Amino acid sequence: MGDGPDPALALRRELPPEITYTVFNSESELKTIRALIEMSLSEPYSIYTYRYFVYNWPELCIFARHGERYVGVIVSKMEQKSSYARHGYIAMLAVEPGYRLLRIGTKLVEKTIEAMLLEHVDEIALETELSNKAALRLYESLGFIREKRMLRFYMNGVDALGLRLILSSNAKLQ
């Protein structure tokens, strides 16, 4: 996220663009998701992975849009883990470089948490690269804790951190 002194970016920060948020509603948006995610992630995902998430949980695939332009996306899922616990999982989050530092990512995560709370999710988990300080700061500001370090988790050999936000006392202690 270490962008250079981009004048357009500076201007955008001074005059924050009006961002709207919409959920996934058509196949044509799949390409957009893929383009946004591949912009910022090291690992390739097959089209099946994208489809698995967005068609099972379209309401948890939320876009940030600046007018017609898609500038950010979050992709998540929810599952009944046992009779008393519902788990949420954030799979992907990306914001276009020119639109970073505008709290769009935070907003997308907040909207996801709110959507999950409506479904009485007890805890939300995700993984992120150890070196991704921006993501860590974002999630920690929302109350996530880093629970687990996973050595050589990614295909490029980088370690991951397992993060978790506990929303209710139902969440079973591991």
- Provide the binding-site residues for other proteins, judged by CB under 8 A: 27, 30, 41, 43-49, 51-52, 55-56, 77, 90-93, 110, 113, 126-128, 130, 135-137, 140-143, 145-157, 159-161, 164-167, 169, 173
Minimum distance of other proteins from residue 16's CB (angstroms): 18
Give the DSSP letter of residue 63. E
Distances from the Cα of 174 to the Cα of 38, 93, 155, 170, 171, angstroms = 33, 26, 26, 12, 9
Q: To the nearest whole angstrom, how small is the minimum distance from the Cβ of residue 8 to other proteins? A: 27
Minimum Å distance from CB 75 to other proteins? 9
Instruction: Return the closest-CA partner of residue 174 out of 147, 140, 151, 152.
Output: 147
Query: What's the CA gap between 6 and 144, in Å, rounded?
Result: 31
Name which of 71 and 121 has its Cβ closer to other proteins: 121
Give the nearer residue to other proteins in terms of CB position, either 71 or 126.
Answer: 126
Q: Which CB atom, from 23 or from 30, has the smaller least distance to other proteins?
A: 30
Residue 6 or residue 159: which is nearer to other proteins going by CB?
159
Count of positions (residues) in the chain: 174
CA dist., res. 115 & res. 9, Å (int) = 30
Let me know: does 108 contact 116? Beta carbons within 8 Å.
Answer: no
In whole angstroms, how close is the CB of 83 to other proteins at the nearest point? 20
